[in-house]
Amino acid sequence: MFDSLTDKFEGIFSRLGRKGVLTEADVEEVLKEIRVALLEADVNLAVVKSLRNRIRERAVGEEVHKALNPAQQVVKIVNEELTASLGGETIDIRYASKPPTVVMMAGLQGSGKTTSSAKLARWFKSQGRNPLLVGADLQRPAAVEQLRTLGRQIDVPVHSEPSDPVSVAASAIEQARSTGRDVVIVDTAGRLAIDEALMDEVRRISDAVEPDYTFLVVDAMTGQDAVTVAEAFHERLELDGVILTKLDGDARGGAALSVKEVVGRPIAFAATGEKLEDFDLFHPDRMANRILGMGDMLTLIEKAEETYEKDEAEEAAAKMLEGQFTLDDFLEQMQQLKKMGPLTNLVGMLPGLPKEARDVEIDDREVNRIEAIIKSMTPAERADPDMVDASRRSRIASGSGTNPTQVSGLISQFGQMRKMMKRLGGMGTKKVRKSKRKDAKRGKKGKGGGRVTPKGGRTTPKGSGRVTPKGEKVGKSPLMLPGLDRIDDADLERMAEELEGFES
């Protein structure tokens, strides 16, 4: 799915071999690839050029690090440079000493202003504030109705009237004062950066409400034009920050970099879905990885934290390694993982996986069929799949709308996997021992209850070790899919080591 930059670099550097320092020629060749990768991620051409210069300056003459290979080292520099560009100063919402605090949204048509206004209102509510939403888009059909519907969902009042956008916005401030609302969020109509009349209008709305914060709402799928748009809006409105939307898609989101470079103000929020709760503070490091198309471990870990109790995952892993894993457990894990998103994406995020494996497309519908097969088995069959004979097989197949070959396929694959896991567990790596020990001390623990790990509580060391494959193993990683039978003990040995490396 993703074309990892590292994969490309490995090629270049395998020709170069290990050297004392990165020479200009080495770096130049890599920079070409970086240019392509960034442009493919929709980073604006001009921004790419300036980034390239910065990366060149940093990389040339750099001593080759002992722990990293040159490819990883350059990737690390690029990654750091991108993270720095995307990050820097973070948004720090200060409330106006004389309420209300006014927030204005602006942006192109369809970028997500109205949805983000409601999301922001929800966010302010969660901060203990009393927001008022203002429908100042009197242009698009049913725009105000859309905002009202969203307002009802989060129990936030919406102010609007069929006059003109400037007076609606102005009267909203009065309205907020008289009804004790301390934050006002003004949703405006979408407009093109080159539409003078409408750009002028948004300026007048801004003059009327004197916003404390003006956010540009930018679609993560935006291409090269992001820079023009950001420039135009920034020039008119002096933006305070950016809200990046539709990050739940698979766009690499290079527009984030473009906009950040132009506006120089923080990307404050990231919108990751159509629902109002799909909204969070922006994480520059993750975005950098995403733009580069690298396995995004941080996202993976955070998603896992949302879905899993840490103990549960440990328990399941320990069971796997002891060969005690049943089809029931498999089903349960599969369902858990599905909550974290499509399996294909999860595999794509795994570090250390060779490209071929990362690129495998797993259709979630196939997952549903596997699920159907397991659910059509009796509890006894799930615990001991070996008991499934021909007649049971055809019963299961017809119950799940599959055919007997598929049923036996799953069972034999499962049997092989179980054996392999047991062998892996038997290798007694430090990790494995630890899991076993913990497991022994603890009885089965139910779900529910508070999250064990608050966000950010469990920090993970950043650096290329986490996000890039271990140098030597690339290409002959043991994690070959799906030929389980071909994995030998040596592969397992390596796999055990790899897993140990990922310990958080």
Partner 1 sequence: MELILIILVVAVLVIGTVGLGFVATRRRGRDLELESDAKILDRAGVDLDSDTHDAGPVDGTVDDAVDDAVVEAEPEVRTDDIIVKPSFFERLGKARSAFAGYLGDLVGMSRVDDEAWEELEEALIRADIGVQTSMSLIGDVQAKAKETKAEDGKQVLALLKERMHVELADKDRSLRLDDDTTNVWLVVGVNGAGKTTTIGKLGRRLVNEGESPLMAAGDTFRAAAAEQLGTWAERSGAEFVRGSEGGDPSSVIFDGVQAAAARGCNVVLADTAGRLQNKANLMDELSKVRRVADKDPGEVTEVLLVLDATTGQNGMSQAKVFTEAVDVTGVVLTKLDGSAKGGIVFAVESELGIPVKLVGLGEGADDLVDFEPTEFVDALFE
Ligand X SMILES: Nc1nc2c(ncn2[C@@H]2O[C@H](COP(=O)(O)OP(=O)(O)OP(=O)(O)O)[C@@H](O)[C@H]2O)c(=O)[nH]1
Of residues 423-452, those binding partner 1 (CB under 8 A): 435
| Residues 267-306, interacting with partner 1 (CB under 8 A) | 274, 300-301, 304
Closest by CA to 292, choosing from 90, 79, 137, is 79
Tell me: does residue 238 bind partner 1 (CB under 8 A). no
Tell me: does residue 114 bind ligand X (CB under 6 A). yes
Strands 279-281 and 267-271: antiparallel
Tell me: does residue 283 bind ligand X (CB under 6 A). no
Tell me: does residue 111 bind ligand X (CB under 6 A). yes
Name the minimum Å distance from CB 110 to Mg ion. 8
Tell me: does residue 232 bind ligand X (CB under 6 A). no
Closest by CA to 263, choosing from 236, 291, 231, is 231
Q: Residue 102 or residue 312: which is nearer to partner 1 going by CB?
A: 312
Residue 214 binds which entry of Mg ion, ligand X, partner 1, none, with Cβ cut-offs from 5 to 8 Å by kind? Answer: none
Nearest-angstrom CA–CA distance, 326 and 383: 5
Phi, psi of 301 (to 5 degrees): -65, -40
Name the minimum Å distance from CB 344 to ligand X. 18
- Enumerate the β-bridge partners of residue 134: 159, 186
Query: Do residues 384 and 414 make contact, with C-beta atoms less than 8 angstroms apart?
Result: no
Applying CB under 8 A, which of residues 334, 359, 422, 493 lies at the interface with partner 1?
Answer: 334
Name the minimum Å distance from CB 474 to Mg ion. 45
Query: Do residues 318 and 434 make contact, with C-beta atoms less than 8 angstroms apart?
Result: no
Query: Do residues 354 and 474 make contact, with C-beta atoms less than 8 angstroms apart?
Result: yes
Q: Which amino acid is at 276?
A: L
Closest by CA to 165, choosing from 209, 210, 201, is 201
Applying CB under 8 A, which of residues 192, 281, 383, 387 lies at the interface with partner 1?
Answer: 192
Tell me: does residue 308 bind partner 1 (CB under 8 A). yes
Nearest-angstrom CA–CA distance, 74 and 205: 46
Q: Measured over all CA atoms, what is the biggest interatomic distance in the chain, rounded to whole angstroms? A: 77
Q: Residue 113 or residue 283: which is nearer to Mg ion going by CB?
A: 113
Nearest-angstrom CA–CA distance, 150 and 156: 8
- Per-residue mark of binding to partner 1, 109-148 (x: CB under 8 A): xxxx--------------------------xxxxx-xxxx
Tell me: does residue 117 bind Mg ion (CB under 5 A). no
Chain residues binding ligand X by CB under 6 A are 107, 109-115, 137, 140, 143, 189-190, 192, 217, 245-246, 248, 271-274, 278
Chain residues binding Mg ion by CB under 5 A are 113-114, 143
